[in-house]
């Protein structure tokens, strides 16, 4: 708690102006973010970035300011900027919808940005409209009454809320190594990490697809400084960065094997060209005559090699100069409020996400569940308490820093809208680690307002804030 940092405090002021049809005419977002004493370092959390590009508004103004405090230094926490900023923006959009007596989803659809209004670029892909549709259908949003406090289950108040999620596609330079062993197995190596995000799995899958080998013959190795360099696990960039490097290394490995096969004496593919060959199931073979083939272990033996080692790297080009690249999602929450105890429980949650190519549905769902759970914790429980006199964290233990556990989390429904986007990177992925937390707290807060008629603008939403 003391040495590792925390999500910084923010004070955010938004002003929204719209015509009678709900179309935004102006949006301003002023963000004030805490930092520590400059001697300890600097940290900035840009809470207004999504306000620049998420909705189509005739006029936008976003400012960020920092306030140095004699307190521990904040740090990066899942979706830095977007997680905090989305609570403010999506709460404000909900308030605007109420003022217009308009459905919150309809308001967002009326201000759907077909192109990035801030950078004046087309999106490389954007399936947010489908996320809205799929999420709303799964949740049953069409049955939501407009009036607050109008849904009950016995004495309990029921509320429905929603919010939009977005997160930029990030990518850094990365390297990977392909090692063909004489026993027919392949090692794929990169100096990346797996924080539980499924890197082991999806990188092995990418290599398997590229090399056309069964998964049990491919292993992914990481965490060694002797391996090709890879970026940190942050910004939802590992799959895009390392995945692109794995594909580059696989392409280089195939080319090397093809050249070796063509140069081998009495080769079954002699007389062909590289373009005539394919690698499949551990054999280099002629596309037009698959029976003319040579096994990779035999090819290594002919060249007196115990293994073949090939490296590849990949780095971003100028695609971000031409396109705006983001993942998107739609969050829908149901809460149940006990009006006597002011107890809030999230009873349903649906998240629909468009994040490019989904490499593995199980690991993707795991990321979504974790992000939603953290969003629920952000909305209802988690808060770092700092003594204003000493600057010390006073609840630096898991007894007083309350986090959600299994009993606090309902069944979560996740939906993935597949996108085919080859403009972003060779792997076609946008990243999914941060996206599901963005807008989750806002969806819960909007649901609390729909249930109680009480608008809470500071997190977490605890009992004393909704007692009447």
- CATH number at 174-315: 3.30.365.10
CATH number of 10-170+320-465: 3.30.365.10
**CB contact at 8 A, 66 and 424:** no
Mark the ranges of the chain whose per-residue pLDDT is less than 70: 468
- Which tokens belong to 19? 């015509």
Distance of CA 422 to the CA centre of its chain: 18
Catalytic residue among 90, 382, 419, 434: 434
CATH 3.30.365.10 boundaries in the chain: 10-170+320-465, 174-315
Tell me if residue 434 is catalytic: yes
Question: Is 177 within 8 Å of 202 (Cβ atoms)?
Answer: no
To the nearest 10°, the Cα dihedral for 385, 389, 391, 394?
-40
Give pLDDT, residue 464. Answer: 95
Token code pair at residue 130? 């489908």
Please list, in sequence order, all residues whose beta carbon lies within 8 angstroms of the beta carbon of residue 291, skipping any fewer than 6 positions away.
Answer: 285
């Amino acid at each position: 708690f003391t040495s590792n940092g925390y999500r910084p405090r923010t004070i955010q002021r938004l002003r929204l102006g719209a015509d009678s049809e709900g179309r935004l005419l102006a949006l301003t977002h002023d963000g004030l973010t805490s930092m520590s004493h400059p001697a300890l370092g600097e940290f900035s959390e840009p809470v207004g970035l999504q306000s620049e590009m998420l909705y189509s508004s005739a006029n936008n103004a976003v400012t960020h300011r920092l306030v140095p405090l004699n307190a521990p230094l904040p740090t990066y926490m899942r979706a830095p900027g977007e997680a905090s900023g989305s609570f403010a923006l999506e709460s404000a959009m909900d308030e605007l919808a109420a003022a217009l007596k308009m459905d919150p989803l309809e308001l967002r659809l009326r201000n759907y940005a077909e192109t990035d209004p801030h950078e004046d670029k087309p999106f490389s892909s954007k399936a947010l409209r489908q996320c809205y549709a799929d999420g709303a259908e799964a949740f049953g949003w069409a049955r939501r009454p407009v009036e607050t406090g109008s849904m009950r289950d016995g004495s309990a108040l029921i509320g429905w809320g929603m919010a939009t999620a977005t997160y930029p596609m990030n990518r850094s330079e990365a390297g990977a190594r392909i090692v063909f062993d004489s026993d027919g197995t392949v090692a794929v190596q990169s100096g990346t990490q797996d924080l539980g995000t499924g890197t082991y799995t999806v990188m092995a899958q990418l290599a398997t697809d590229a090399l056309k080998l069964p998964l049990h013959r491919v292993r992914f190795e990481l965490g060694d400084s002797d391996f090709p360099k890879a970026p940190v696990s942050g910004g939802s960039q590992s799959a895009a960065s390392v995945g692109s490097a794995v594909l580059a290394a696989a392409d280089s490995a195939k080319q090397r094997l093809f050249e070796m096969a063509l140069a081998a004496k009495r080769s079954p593919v002699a007389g062909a060209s590289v373009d005539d060959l394919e690698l499949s199931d551990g054999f280099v073979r002629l596309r037009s005559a698959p029976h003319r083939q040579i096994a990779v272990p035999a090819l290594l033996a002919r060249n007196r090699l115990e293994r073949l080692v090939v490296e590849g790297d990949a780095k971003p080009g100028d695609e971000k100069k031409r396109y705006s690249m983001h993942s998107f999602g739609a969050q829908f929450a149901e809460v149940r409020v006990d009006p006597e105890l002011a107890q809030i429980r999230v009873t349903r949650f649906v998240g629909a996400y468009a994040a490019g190519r989904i490499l593995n549905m199980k690991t993707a769902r795991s990321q979504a569940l974790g992000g939603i759970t953290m969003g629920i914790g952000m909305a209802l429980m988690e808060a770092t308490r700092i003594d204003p006199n000493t600057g010390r964290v006073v609840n630096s233990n898991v007894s007083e820093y309350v986090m959600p556990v299994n009993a606090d989390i309902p069944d979560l429904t996740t939906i993935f809208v597949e996108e085919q986007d080859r403009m972003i990177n060779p792997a076609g992925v946008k990243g999914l680690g941060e996206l599901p937390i963005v807008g989750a707290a806002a969806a819960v807060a909007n649901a609390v307002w729909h249930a109680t008629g009480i608008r809470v603008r500071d997190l977490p939403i605890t009992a004393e804030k909704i007692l009447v």
